[in-house]
Amino acid sequence: MDMYSAMNEQITDILRRSDNPASLYAAARIEELEAKRDVLAATFSDANELHSEARNELERLREACEFVEATLAPYRGDDACPNRAYTVSREAIKSLRAALRQRGATARA
């Protein structure tokens, strides 16, 4: 919603010069709405910043998963890397991916 603070301030000043209760009420209501708009704008800004930080963190986690997979790929089925360690690492990667998908779905919701 577009609100013109400077114009609203001038209107409020004009309305407050009146002794008419309706004018005084209108002035108070304009000031109240301006204050609510300021709070909502700040809240939206904070939420937008948190969303951006969460997206960045998800991207770092995706990159970490890809790195771990690329690092382990040469050892698949090789005796140089114990199968148990590979299996545990593979399960950890699956868990991370599931968590990323869930967080991504939550972030989009």
User: For 52-88, what is each residue's pLDDT tens digit?
Assistant: 888 888 888 888 877 777 776 666 665 555 555 556 5
Residues with Cβ within 8 Å of 5's Cβ and at least 6 positions away in sequence, in order, are 34
How confident is the model at residue 15, as a pLDDT? 93
> Could you tell me the pTM of the whole model?
0.48
> What percent of the chain is modeled with pLDDT above 70?
74
Number of domains comprising the chain: 1
- pLDDT greater at residue 107 or residue 40: 40
Task: Tell me which residue range forms the domain holding 104.
Answer: 5-108
Structure confidence at residue 96 as a pLDDT band (50, 70, 90): confident
